[in-house]
Structure formats: C-alpha cells, structure tokens
C-alpha cells in the first residue's frame, strides 16, 4: 500500500555550485510512503506525515546552505569545541566563496554536486530513521515551481530575524511582477531576472574588514570580495563572496525592503512613470511596493 502527500512543504535554501556560485533555490516536496497498514488501518496518519516529515525536512534543509562535500572545490573544517564550521569553496578566477558559521547553518550533501537526486537521497536517509516499522519505503519528488514569467535566484541573510532566516546564506527562487503606469512590463521583469541572476544581496551595514573575520583568503584577492559578518541569536555569521556576484543595498534584505528597492530603482531610472512591484520570496508569498 502507498500513501502520498503532494505539496508537503517548500524548501527555501541556497547551495554552492562550481559554475554559478551561491544559488538561492525553492523546491516543492511531494512524498510517497510504502508499507503495511497499521492498527489504525493506515500506512501513517496524514497528520503525522504533514507534521513529522515537514519538521524533518525543515530541520535538515530549509534555510540552510547546502555544500557538495565531494566536490574538489569544497574545503570543510569543523570546530567541535564551538560547534562552528568553516567552508571554503575554491572556485578559480577570484570567485571563491568563504563562510564561518554555526554548524546548523549548513547541510552537507555527500556528492560532487547539489542536485534534486542528491538532495532527495540525503533526505531519505534522514527520514528513514524516524519512520514507524510498518513503513518500508519512502519516495521524495523534489520539483521547482512552474513559472512562465521572468524569475531570479537570490541569497541573503536576515540578522534581525528570530528564526532560521537569520542564517547568512539561505535563498529563494523567485518570480517578479512589475507594473509601469498600471501596465505589466515584461521588459522590467526580464531586467531583474538578469540583474539578480544567482545573486547574493547584502546590506551595507553588515560589511566588515576582513581582519575582523576568520578568513585568510590565501588563494584569492580579498579586494574582489565583499566581506560580511554579524551576530544574531544563533551565533556569529561570516561570509566572503565575490563582488561580481553580489548586490549591495542600504537597508535590510527582507522581501519588503527588496520590493521597495526595486520600485525605487525603477523610479530613479524613469522619473515620469509610476511603478508597482510584486517581489516574491520563494513560492506563493512576497511583498508589494510602489514608487
């Protein structure tokens, strides 16, 4: 007997890619459980599936940075005493990425690349140890939202957030809808899809001198990187990322602030027009701003 739950949850996270750098992503999760009926004549109660499995997926993937452990660029150092991990992703040509964060900010995927199959295998191993004896198998279908209009992948960190959004490297795959003078503008939507393709969006107030961090950047030119650090309730987060793959803004990087930033940018470039921007944060949620 099989039990299925579609749209169990959406995982918002970022991952390290040798070609694209740090990539924000949002994947929808469908699940199928196989097994015998229990004493309630069920494979597993839907309430438990939705609560327990969603919790495990959120705990192990959501709002984390996924690191491909077996890729040649990955260098990982664990500090067991302070429960911190330093990750260096040594991409060539000054495009290396460096992090020093609490261990809970990462998920370590034992493959050469972070893909839907490798993440599915990682999650199945985690979930299998928490299933009742009558459940013999689990299938996970990870999929991206079908978006027929322009979208972008972005990564950020929200140091003021009480929850997991405070992690300095988590992200989203997000559509954007722009109206100029009450008319939807494909041109401006494509503009943002290109400008924020695989981007890290940072706040000016989080920039620090590299000497204030754990990074040596021995293998690259520090002048090519933005260096961020902040303290939040989960600990200290540090990140060095190529300037060429970053966008700096003067505010926090909440979706509300990003939507307003986009609207204000349009107004700056087109003073005689009025703009409305719907900026999404992953799947089915976001903020609306006007200028």
> 18-42, pLDDT tens digit by residue?
999 999 999 999 988 877 777 666 6
Rounded average pLDDT over 92-100: 95
pLDDT tens sequence across 209-257? 999 999 876 666 778 999 999 999 999 999 999 999 999 999 999 999 9
Q: What percent of the chain has pLDDT over 90?
A: 80
Q: Strand 275-280 vs strand 170-180: parallel, antiparallel, or unpaired?
A: antiparallel
| DSSP per-residue codes, 244-291 | GGEEEESS--SHHHHHHHHHHHHHHH-TTS-EEEEEE-SSS-EEEEE-
pLDDT of 45 reads 59
pLDDT tens sequence across 43-74? 565 566 777 888 999 999 999 999 999 999 99
Q: How many residues does the chain have?
A: 291
pLDDT tens sequence across 158-196? 999 999 999 999 999 999 999 999 999 999 999 999 999
pTM score > 0.85 for this model? yes
The answer to whether the beta carbons of residues 258 and 200 sit under 8 Å apart is: no
Dmax of the chain from CA atoms? Answer: 69
pLDDT tens sequence across 255-280? 999 999 999 999 999 999 999 999 99
Tell whether the model's pLDDT for residue 132 goes beyond 90: no
Domain ranges across the chain: 2-290
pLDDT of 102 reads 98
pLDDT of 53 reads 83
Partners of 29 in beta bridges: 9, 142
pLDDT of 131 reads 74
Greater confidence (133 vs 223) lies with 223
pLDDT band at 204 (very low <50, low <70, confident <90, very high): very high
What is the three-class DSSP state of 230?
A: strand
pLDDT of 286 reads 98
pLDDT of 234 reads 97
Q: Strand 235-242 vs strand 84-89: parallel, antiparallel, or unpaired?
A: unpaired
CB atoms within 10 A of CB 272: 6
pLDDT of 130 reads 77
Architecture of domain 2-290: 2-Layer Sandwich (3.30)
Burial bucket for residue 80 (CB in 10 Å: 0-12, 13-18, 19+): exposed
Burial bucket for residue 47 (CB in 10 Å: 0-12, 13-18, 19+): exposed
């Amino acid at each position: 007997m099989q039990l299925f739950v579609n749209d169990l949850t959406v995982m918002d996270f970022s991952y390290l890619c040798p070609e694209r750098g740090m990539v924000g992503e949002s994947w929808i999760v469908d699940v199928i459980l196989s097994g015998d009926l229990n004493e309630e004549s069920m494979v597993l109660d839907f309430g438990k599936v939705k609560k327990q499995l969603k919790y495990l997926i959120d705990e192990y993937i959501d709002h984390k940075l996924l690191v491909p452990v077996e890729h040649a660029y990955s260098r990982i150092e664990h500090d067991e005493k302070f429960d911190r991990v330093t990750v260096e992703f040594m991409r060539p040509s000054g495009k290396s990425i460096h992090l020093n964060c609490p261990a809970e900010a990462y998920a370590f995927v034992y493959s050469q690349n972070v893909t839907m199959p490798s993440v599915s295998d990682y999650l199945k191993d985690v979930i299998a140890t928490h299933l009742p004896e009558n459940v013999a198998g689990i299938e996970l279908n990870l999929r991206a939202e079908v978006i027929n209009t322009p979208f972008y992948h972005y990564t950020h960190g929200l140091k003021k957030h009480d929850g997991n959004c405070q992690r300095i490297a988590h992200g989203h795959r997000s559509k954007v809808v722009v109206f100029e003078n009450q008319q939807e503008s494909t041109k401006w939507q494509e503009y943002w899809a290109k400008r924020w393709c695989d981007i890290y969006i940072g706040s000016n107030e989080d920039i620090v001198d590299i000497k204030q961090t754990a990074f040596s950047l021995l293998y690259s030119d520090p002048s090519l990187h933005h260096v961020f650090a902040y303290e939040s309730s989960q600990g200290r987060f540090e990140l060095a990322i190529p300037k060429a793959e970053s966008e700096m803004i003067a505010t926090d990087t909440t979706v509300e602030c990003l939507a307003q930033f986009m609207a204000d940018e349009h107004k700056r470039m087109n003073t005689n027009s009025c703009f409305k921007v719907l900026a999404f944060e992953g799947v089915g949620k976001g903020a609306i701003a006007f200028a």
